[in-house]
Amino acid sequence: MANLKEIRNRISSVSSTMQITSAMKMVSAAKLKKAQDAITAMRPYADKLTELLQSLSATLDADSGSKFSTQREVKKVLIVAITSNRGLAGAFNSNIIKEVNKLTSETYANQEVSYLAIGKKANDAFKKTKRVIANKSEVFDDLTFDNVAEIAQLLMDKFVAGEFDKIEIVYNRFKNAATQIVTTEQFLPIVPIEGEIANNMDYIFEPSKVEIVEQLIPKSLKTQLYKGIRDSFASEHGARMTAMHKATDNATELRDQLKLTYNKARQAAITNEILEIVGGAEALNN
């Protein structure tokens, strides 16, 4: 059995860890509320804009078609992996990395795959492949629409230039504090709505279809990426809050077990001392 000093040191260490994890849980809970409100307010607008974009794409003919809707033979693929800059969030980052690796080895096994990292964890995971074209981790330092729009514009420029035939976004979609859904969305080319839904849509374009395409589609794509990053941001704090809650509970349980062990060891030591005293007294009497 470990001596009393070692047990006291372990109790002190576990208690310090518990204080840290508890503080991190409270910080993440505070940040989660703000991030959750932001994505909840934005999601209906972003989803409707994406639906409108797909509907508009379905009405375009070859002459007025958008350069962002061009379907090419898929030879070069760009995967935008959205993770966090920090760890201690359970499986939040590893789930994204696993999904990207799965896409690379299965879905796009016969294509040339490159990556754009949004989050240090994604950059650390994929930079060894030497196919990370950019690391945009700094966007989380000031998460605004304008900063995300610059990344979206970079993606659009590379697609139009023919550097990539398809661009996918992989991120954690926020459901609640305890649940994040790994989501893969096609960013480019735009996938139009097909079938009866598309045939039943009738639009009056004002001022003109071409002007709407030139303005609405870039804005919609920027909004789509911003929503994905916002979703991931809220998911990160939810995952970290949950992970730190579990870590605090585990630390509390371990501390209680160590205290019980310490008390038992202390009791055994006291009993031994009493026995030694009694034995010594008996020896003197004899």
pLDDT of residue 214: 73
How far, CA to CA in Å, does 215 sit from each of 53, 113, 198, 212?
11, 30, 21, 5
CATH 3.40.1380.10 for domain 22-243, yes or no, is: yes
Most confident of 194-198, 248-252, 277-281: 248-252
SS3 240: helix
172 phi and psi angles, rounded to 5 deg: -90, 120
Q: Does residue 258 contact residue 14 with C-beta atoms inside 8 Å?
A: yes
- pTM of the complete model: 0.84
209-285 vs 92-102: helix crossing angle, rounded to 10: 130
Q: How does pLDDT run across 216-259, given as a tens digit for each residue?
A: 888 889 999 999 999 999 999 999 999 999 999 999 999 999 99
pLDDT of residue 12: 92
SS3 75: coil
pLDDT of residue 170: 97
Percent of the chain with pLDDT over 70: 88
Q: Six-digit token pair at 63?
A: 């002459």
Burial class of residue 57 (count of CB atoms within 10 Å of its CB; 0-12, 13-18, 19+): buried
Tell me the C-alpha distance between 84 and 156, whole Å: 23
Question: Span 135-154, mean pLDDT?
Answer: 94
pLDDT of residue 187: 93
Domain boundary assignment for the chain: 22-243
Q: How does pLDDT run across 121-142, given as a tens digit for each residue?
A: 999 999 887 789 999 999 999 9
Whether the per-residue pLDDT at 43 is higher than 60: the answer is: yes
SS3 125: helix
- Amino acid at residue number 176: N
> What pairing do the DSSP bridges indicate for beta strands 166-176 and 179-188?
antiparallel
Q: How does pLDDT run across 44-72, given as a tens digit for each residue?
A: 888 888 777 777 666 655 444 568 888 88
**Buried (b) or exposed (e) across 101-117, using 16+ Cβ within 10 A?**
eebbeeebeebebbbbb
Torsion of CA 87, 93, 94, 97, to 10 degrees: -130
pLDDT top residue among 85 and 1:
85
Q: How does pLDDT run across 159-169, given as a tens digit for each residue?
A: 999 999 999 99
- Give the distance from CA 203 to its chain's centroid: 38
Computed over every residue of the chain, the mean pLDDT equals: 87
Q: Does residue 212 contact residue 119 with C-beta atoms inside 8 Å?
A: no
Tell me the C-alpha distance between 67 and 161, whole Å: 10
Tell me the C-alpha distance between 216 and 227, whole Å: 16
Q: Six-digit token pair at 262?
A: 């310490």
SS3 134: strand
pLDDT of residue 196: 47
pLDDT of residue 63: 44
Question: Span 22-33, mean pLDDT?
Answer: 91
Whether the per-residue pLDDT at 193 is higher than 60: the answer is: yes
Whether the per-residue pLDDT at 28 is higher than 70: the answer is: yes
Question: Span 150-164, mean pLDDT?
Answer: 95
Question: Span 100-122, mean pLDDT?
Answer: 94
